[in-house]
């Protein structure tokens, strides 16, 4: 029998408690923190998961996918990996649209539905999917009613 060692690392720790109770807070955090990360490229879609505490504070965030200018590859397994390791109660996902068009694509709606259903199975709530634009503009898929998050 072999013994294995597992190391759990927080990919990006938040320096201050940020309450993630609204899409506006997520968009603000994106512009203040995420967009300043070394890996960030405003010309490509960046899909990020925000891992939340029981009090809906952002504990950490994790880059899930770097895509192209108008698409990114996202799978529930990759979204929930860091959330499971960090003991998340809930998550909010977000990605940018380099084009500036904040309208959710059919793929955005599809992956949001997949994530909500996967979250129900593993009992990690998906609270929102926020599309980030330029100049602090954003669109909440939850607020616009395109997906049922319950």
What pTM, to 2 d.p., does this model score?
0.84
Instruction: Name the residue among 128, 132, 37, 45 with its Cα closest to residue 91.
Output: 128
Comparison of pLDDT for 10 and 113, the residue scoring more: 113
| Domains, in order of start, for the chain | 19-140 (3.40.140.10)
Give bridge partners of residue 50 from the DSSP assignment.
61, 92
Which H/E stretch holds residue 65?
A: strand 57-66
Q: Are 21 and 57 in contact (CB under 8 A)?
A: no
The reported pLDDT for the residue numbered 121 is 96
Tokens of 31: 């512009």
Mean pLDDT, the chain, integer: 87
Tens digits of residue pLDDT in 18-47: 566 789 999 999 999 999 999 999 899 999
Residue 56 and residue 20: Cα distance in Å, rounded? 6
Tens digits of residue pLDDT in 37-76: 999 998 999 999 999 998 899 999 999 999 877 667 899 9
The reported pLDDT for the residue numbered 150 is 79
């Amino acid at each position: 029998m072999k013994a294995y060692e597992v190391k759990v690392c927080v990919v990006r720790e938040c320096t201050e408690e940020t309450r993630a109770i609204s899409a506006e807070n997520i968009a603000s955090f994106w512009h203040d923190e995420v967009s300043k990360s070394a890996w960030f490229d405003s010309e490509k879609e960046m899909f990020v998961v925000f891992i939340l505490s029981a009090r809906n504070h952002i504990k950490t965030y994790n880059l899930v996918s770097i895509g192209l200018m108008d698409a990114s590859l996202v799978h529930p397994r990759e979204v929930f990996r860091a959330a499971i390791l960090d003991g998340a109660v809930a998550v909010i996902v977000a990605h940018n649209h380099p084009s500036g068009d904040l309208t959710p694509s059919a793929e955005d709606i599809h992956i949001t539905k997949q994530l909500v259903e996967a979250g129900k199975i593993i009992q990690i709530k998906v609270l929102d999917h926020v599309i980030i634009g330029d100049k602090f503009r954003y669109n909440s898929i939850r607020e616009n009613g395109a997906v049922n998050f319950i």
